[in-house]
Amino acid sequence: MPDPRARALGLTPGLALADARARVPELAVFESDPAADQAWLERIADSCERYSPSVAADPPDGITIDITGCAHLFHGEAGLAGDLERRMARFTRHLRHAFADSPEGAQALARFGTLILPGTGRCPEGAEGPNALPRSLGTRDRAFDPSVSATRCHLPVPGRNDAEQAPLLRLPVAALRLDAETELALRRAGLKTIGDLALRPSAPIAARFGEAATTTLARLLGHADSRITPRRAAPALFFERRFAEPIARTEDALGTIGALGEEAARALEQRRMGGRRFAARLFRSDGAVRDLAIATGQPTRDPALLLRLFGERVETLADPLDPGFGFDMIRLSVPAIEPLAPAQLELEGGAIGEEAMAALVDRLSTRLGRGCLRRFAPRDTHIPEQTVLALPAAGPRRTGGWPEPRPGEPPLRPIHLFDPPQPIEVIAEVPDGPPHRFRWRRAQHDVVRFEGPERVAAEWWRHAEGLTRDYYRVEDARGRRFWVFRHGLYGSEKPDPRWYIHGLFA
């Protein structure tokens, strides 16, 4: 929707540039920047998450908020709309927003509605009470108006709120946001408003104009279940603090996060759960949002640990945590939780070694970065170089242990593997005899003992292709032990297979 000032000058969407300059000779023209527009919309969506954790973007210029159970925090929908208008003034001067019982209805009213209460920019408020349905809110601007629509309806209730249906029925069929060809066909058939469509049976409409027309109409009017897809998955738990006066010190923000951590610990203890990831969102009074996130190697509900990790995260930020004019809301969410039974201390009261190691891993991962500290984990495969995975140490531990050699037997795999395996020159019996002598790094090694072969083929069930390997554990005249293999089978896979040394035994 164009800027009202542009509309007053006769500038409308679709107008040719030459015609626009003819009407406004001093018109300034700039190339469109879709990436900047999307970033601008994401900034608005971040700011709207102060009203509800369920926020969905409707590009290029719309945002839908599910405000079910949230309006009371702002003394009703009127208070929420007023706060929204005040905060959105930092992003745009042309905001349209509306409330409805479905996401499609809220966006339709915000984009095409004209029945807006003076001074609020919102549609008439529906009945409140124990049977009130969920609501949502939606917005749009920039070189266009932003539309914020709030939805408060997920399930249809026949015959409810006819007063709220009336504004929707007066909207043009363009509010259905169908393709241009279907919209033109509807208008040519005399169906110019939503009400014209709603008064007719759905079967003939679907047969003539397609199923999309009747499906979208049912969702817009709340006759069919319709839900938004939030930008972020709802966390398992979240806690927040709002401030009448914004706080401008980082220490106060961390103190609030610590207090929220104590609330989270009590809630987790009641559920006998622990958090694996914790995320703090700090909402500045100017609409900017800052995010802080930490992860732990084991489930935890220790507030002191959380506060220390968040403090270290702040210290390692490349961009300092700038409060600006202050934070007026801080939210702590726990996106991932796992069962955590009460800890049993030792009889002597000593610390538990595993927990101490987990705390050290958490601190180092928070300070250095989650990907900088890694833990080795076994992988179910017989390909030697793929049997070990290096995973983030703060991540969840994989099930399954390391294979152990039989008592009294030497290990089947060396401690050190070369990546990639190093080529060697070998004297061996053909076609598949063991090595008798090999040269590696300009030194000759005479084999006095060997064990093998251990044949390793490609994993055909994983559609892997490769040559067969015959591995030998060999010992030279000086007692040094090597792990060598022949790459390929004589004749069937390769006319002249090469030999490689893959590892060294201790």
> For residues 194 and 175, is the Cβ–Cβ distance under 8 A?
yes
SS3 labels along 19-78: HHHHHCCCCCCCCCCHHHHHHHHHHHHHHHCCCCCCEEEECCCEEEEECCCCHHHHCCHH
Dist. CA 256–CA 329, nearest whole Å:
10
Contacts of 189 (CB under 8 A, 6+ apart): 208
In this predicted structure, the answer to whether residue 331 has a pLDDT above a threshold of 90 is yes
DSSP bridge partners of 290: 282
Element (H, E) at 87: helix 77-88
3-class SS of residue 186: helix
Q: Mapping DSSP to helix (H, G, I), strand (E, B) and coil, where does residue 185 land?
A: helix
Closest by CA position to 287, among listed 38, 36, 46: 46
Distance CA 456, CA 452 (A): 11
In the predicted model, what is the mean pLDDT of residues 157-162? 44
Share of the chain above pLDDT 70, in %: 85
Q: 154 with 225: CB under 8 angstroms? A: yes
Residue whose tokens read 């363009």: 174
Which of 331-340, 356-365, 446-455, 463-472 is least confident?
356-365
- pLDDT tens per residue across span 246-301: 998 889 999 999 999 999 999 999 998 999 899 999 999 888 899 999 988 788 99
pLDDT at 342: 66
Question: Prior bond to 335 cis, omega within 30?
Answer: no
Size of the chain, expressed as the number of residues it contains:
506
pLDDT over 90 (residue 373): no
pLDDT at 356 over 80: no
CA-atom Rg of the chain in angstroms: 33
> Which two three-digit tokens encode residue 162?
């006819």
In order, the DSSP letters of 146-166 are EEEEEEE-SS--TT--HHHHH
Neighbours of 297 (CB within 10 A): 24
The pLDDT value given to residue 408: 72
Q: Residue 310 to residues 226, 315, 393, 396: CA-CA distances in angstroms?
A: 38, 9, 18, 20
Can you say how many angstroms the Cα of residue 64 is from the centroid of all Cα atoms in its chain?
A: 18
Cβ atoms of 484 and 499 closer than 8 Å = yes
Taking the CA of residue 406 as centre, how many other CA atoms within 13 Å lie in the half-sphere pointing to its CB? 1
- Checking if the pLDDT of 149 tops 80, the result is no
Which one, of 121, 217, 120, 96, lies nearest residue 168 by Cα?
A: 217
Read off the pLDDT of each residue in 201-229 and give the average, rounded to a whole number: 89
| Residue 199 burial (CB count, 10 A) | 10
Q: Which residue has the tokens 């920019």?
A: 121
Averaged pLDDT of the chain: 82
d(CA 392, CA 138) in angstroms, rounded, equals 39
